[in-house]
Structure 1
């Protein structure tokens, strides 16, 4: 019985290794230091800076006086959240909102060479609304915004990792 379990687990491990499965690794960036132009109050900018530094290979500079020490500059052109009414009932009460997060940025060197031209990432989610559950809907809205923010940060990190030379 133990031998059968061992053989089955070994076969499962072998099949995973044969399919090319590998855990996601920290990306390699072409730069060692980056100046982040995100506002101090931006939760998206804070999460982005934290994720950049988490790999241990990149130092994020936030102080504009130290910008000369950076290899590249991340210019945040737009960081915006929107909430739009998309559905109402017969009596004119709101039934559905659309939440949208826009983030526009560019990556350049100190000399002005564009490594990533101005790019915009827009994510949107629909959320139903019910006046009898306002507090629960506010919490759901906050969770949706946080999910969109994390998704945008991951997309930006992949784009930064795609830059191969400065």
Structure 2
């Protein structure tokens, strides 16, 4: 008799399961989740100055241009470019890469390295009003090291530096987008 009663319960369970899934999806839709959109800026022209020849500064310039901003560089970097007023000036104070030994064997051989990328910048309006004070972004990555795989570890190190560089550019873009008025 139990075997006969169970088929009657299956459609009811299915309906209850469908209702539970529907309610859960409604709850997720109402939580405010949304995909990240392209940043919007309170300015249309920006001047880069300072350490603008570094890899992070070059990638930052490309990302700003890709987001629709007109990017000007200092006259020292591009002497043929006419001097134009920019709405804001982004000064790259520091852009450096560091490599430190953090682990050694008893024989003094390097076993672990720490890679760091340090980026310090500030943002000022054309009227010298400080919009973003000196801000330091420091990213660190650990990497194991072995003498038998030096070439592959060099490639891994370069990849980690490129990854940190992209992370810094995205963080700077988000901070620039947070400026709502000049």
TM-score range, shorter chain: 0.7 to 0.9
CA contact (8 A) 1:75 1:106 kept: yes
Please report how far the alpha carbon of residue 139 of structure 1 lies from its aligned counterpart in structure 2 after TM superposition: 0.7
Shift of 1:62: 1.8
The corresponding residue for 2:128 is 112
Q: How far is the alpha carbon of 1:15 from its aligned partner?
A: 6.4
Q: Distance in 1 between matches of 2:48 and 2:25?
A: 42
Structure 2 residue aligned with 1:146: 162
Report the alpha carbon displacement of residue 52 of structure 1 after superposing the two structures with TM: 1.1
Whether the aligned pair in 1 keeps the contact of 2:49 and 2:92 (CA below 8 Å) is yes
Q: With structure 2 as the length reference, what TM-score do the two structures score?
A: 0.78
Q: Is residue 41 of structure 1 aligned with residue 57 of structure 2?
A: no
Tell me the distance in 2 between the aligned counterparts of 1:36 and 1:22: 32
Larger radius of gyration: 2
CA contact (8 A) 1:35 1:67 kept: no
TM-score by length of 1: 0.85
Gapped runs of 5+ residues in structure 2? 1-17, 76-80
Kindly indicate whether the alpha-carbon contact (under 8 Å) linking 2:113 and 2:145 is maintained by their aligned counterparts in 1: yes
Query: How far apart, CA to CA, are the structure 1 residues paired with 2:152 and 2:173?
Result: 32
- Output the aligned Cα RMSD: 2.2
Superposition pairs of residues 62-81 of structure 1, within 5 angstroms: 62-64=73-75, 66-81=82-97
Residue of 45, 63, 71 corresponding to 1:60: 71
Give the drift of 1:17.
Answer: 3.7
Report the number of matched residues. 159
Which residue of 2 is the match for residue 136 of structure 1?
A: 152
